């Protein structure tokens, strides 16, 4: 090796040492695949990104419970009220279709409408709709009747404690998968 090549190599090593004294070194080493690494940098990025799994929900009617999952890992569960006899909560696979703060409510028999934000509104402050026949909707909502949670008491909807539905509202988005089992 010539003297000029040695100076060039020393200069490059000195640059690496200077860079290594800052946080930039992490970016340098993550951008260059190592020969001793059994996978490429792009595979490593994919593996790191796959840690963040999508949210999905499972409603277990018999347990009066909705379970929040990130991928296959259970994050939290909430007590719920489900549809009463004659107004059963539908079973199957669904997704979040609509999300509304301060939703208005229309009585299914009388057509009476109660505006969002009203203390008389049985939906509370949050609505997460996941089923519709084009006219009627079924979804998650709060309730002014906290004692109904844990029972078959609704017109098919999933009633939750107001604080719980607010928390759930912040976790889901349009398209979040929902599975409802007996």
What residues are annotated to the active site?
Answer: 141, 157
Angstrom distance (rounded) from CA 86 to CA 1: 88
Residue whose structure tokens are 């549809």: 83
Mark 131-153 as b/e (b = at least 16 C-beta within 10 Å): beeeeebbbbbbbeeeebbeeeb
Name the token pair of 143. Answer: 């309730």
């Amino acid at each position: 090796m010539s003297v000029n090549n040695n100076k060039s190599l020393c200069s490059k090593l000195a640059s690496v040492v200077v860079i290594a004294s800052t946080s930039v070194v992490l970016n340098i080493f993550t951008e260059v695949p190592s020969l001793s690494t059994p996978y490429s940098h792009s595979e490593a990025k994919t593996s790191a990104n796959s840690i963040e799994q999508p949210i999905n929900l499972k409603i277990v009617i018999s347990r009066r419970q909705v379970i929040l999952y990130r991928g296959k890992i259970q994050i939290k569960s909430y007590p719920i009220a489900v549809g009463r006899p004659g107004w059963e909560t539908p079973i199957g696979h669904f997704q979040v279709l609509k999300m509304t703060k301060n939703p208005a409510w229309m009585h299914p028999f009388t057509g009476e409408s109660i505006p969002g934000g009203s203390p008389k509104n049985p939906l509370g402050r949050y609505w997460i709709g996941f089923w519709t026949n084009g006219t009627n909707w079924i979804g998650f909502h709060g309730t002014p009747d906290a004692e109904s949670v844990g029972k078959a008491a609704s017109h098919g909807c999933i009633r939750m404690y107001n604080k719980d539905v607010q928390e759930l509202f912040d976790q889901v988005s349009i398209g979040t998968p929902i599975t409802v089992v007996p």
